[in-house]
Structure 1
Amino acid sequence: MATSRSNTSNHKIIGTKDPAKSYTDRISTRVVALKPSGEIAIIYVKEGNYYKLPGGGIEGEESPTEAALREVKEETGAIVALRSTDYFATTEEFRFQQHQVSYCYLADVVDDAGEPCLTEEELADGFVQQWMTISKALEAMSAVEPTTEFGSFVKERDIFVLTEALRLIDSSS
């Protein structure tokens, strides 16, 4: 799987690798999907009380960029164009029995008229898609207290991703 990173310093490790544990590897993507208005797609998860960015695991033989486009469409209904095939940041999580690496992309929303196509699990978890500025999203993410350990991992990861995205956007304007 070929991937490249535009800046090798934008990497965050969340959790601690326990040498006594055996981890299952998972490769995933996260997307900061921007509308021309400056708003981004963000998802509130009622079950667990946390916010997350669109994204998820890579399926089959798809590339990280293909997974990024698919996940945004599934979770938000939006069609996006990646600003670059290079990811701008990565996160590495050691949680429970899983070692997850997420490749993070910036994208522009091309069409937001579609409807999310959520899984049964996402529906049961109470996914609610919202649009807000990156600053408001960071405020919302920081303000909530997740009720699950998983939600705490997601909060730490996605605050890092949004902070890096904001830094990248500010440096290019």
Structure 2
Amino acid sequence: MSNFLTKNPPIPKIIGTKHADIKYTERHAIRVITLNEANQIALIHAEKDDYYKLPGGGIEGTEEHTAAAAREVREETGATISIRSTVGCIAVTEEYRNDLHQFSYAYIADVLDASGEADLTAEEQADGLSHPEWLSAGDALAKMRAVQPRSELGLFIQERDVYLLGEAIRVLEI
């Protein structure tokens, strides 16, 4: 797996339950706490199932974490970013959902340019992903907690991203 920007990645928070009788497909993904000049965090609303998510998605092949983070943020928000390499990977989740076993690695990044346009996949468009909302850390966390997702996927994403954002707030002391 590609670099973590840290020699000792955090111990993963387990979400879901591993079942011995299920053959899981393993997936590795990036989640990015993306901060603009006003120190606001990018949140994306998935209208179809009514949940909020952090920018991020799957790591492709042997892609480095930093490259995956930059690509995913650009695709979902249109912004170009710089990962805070001095902070490294701030949190990891290990998720079991249906036949998926996913590791999500969270990083903090600063926006360099927010003038680009999002380039959402057909699946993301079908989920009703919105342009990012830029919110203070506290408001972003409150908004993520307040929704009641209408799907199992939405509930998993809510638990994962509330945890990851909480860890970012702890690390950033904001």
Letter matched to residue 69 of structure 1:
A
Q: Give the Cα separation in 1 of the matches to 2:36 and 2:153.
A: 28
Kindly report the root-mean-square deviation, in angstroms, between the aligned alpha carbons of the 2 structures: 1.5
* Mapped partners of 1:70, 1:17: distance in 2: 30
**Relative to 1, partners in 2 of residues 1:140 and 1:62: Cα closer, same or farther, differing over 3 Å?**
same
- Structure 2 unmatched runs, 5+: none
The one-letter amino acid of 1:106's match is I
Tell me whether 1:163 sits opposite 2:163 in the alignment. no
Please say if 1:109 is aligned against 2:115: no
CA distance in 1, matches of 2:116, 2:134: 14
Aligned residue in 2 for 1:118: 120
One-letter amino acid of the structure 2 residue matched with residue 32 of structure 1:
I
Counterparts of 2:147 and 2:7, CA distance in 1: 31
Cα distance change, pair 145–7 in 1 and its aligned pair in 2 (3 A): farther
Give the aligned residue type for 1:107.
A
Q: Choose from 133, 138, 141 the match for 1:138.
A: 141
Q: Which structure 1 residue ranges, 4+ long, deviate > 3 Å from structure 2?
A: 4-10
Of all paired residues, the percent bearing the same amino acid is: 49
Deviation at 1:51, TM superposition (A): 0.3
Please, which runs of 5 or more residues in structure 1 have no aligned partner? none
Find the partner of 1:149 among 152, 159, 164.
Answer: 152
Amino acid at match of 1:62: E
Cross-structure match for 2:48: 47
Taking structure 1 as reference, are residues 162 and 140 closer, same or farther at Cα in structure 2, changes over 3 Å only?
A: same
Give yes or no for the alignment of 1:24 onto 2:57: no
Deviates more, 1:147-156 or 1:80-89: 80-89
The normalised TM-score by structure 2 is 0.93
Counterpart residue identity of residue 153, structure 1: F
Shift of 1:130: 1.2
Q: Distance in 2 between matches of 1:165 and 1:69?
A: 18
How far did 1:8 drift? Answer: 4.7
Task: Name 1:3's counterpart in structure 2.
Answer: 3
User: Shift of the alpha carbon at 1:7?
Assistant: 6.1
Count of matched residue pairs: 171
Name the aligned partner's letter for residue 48 of structure 2: E
Whole-Å separation in 2 of the counterparts to 1:130 and 1:136: 11
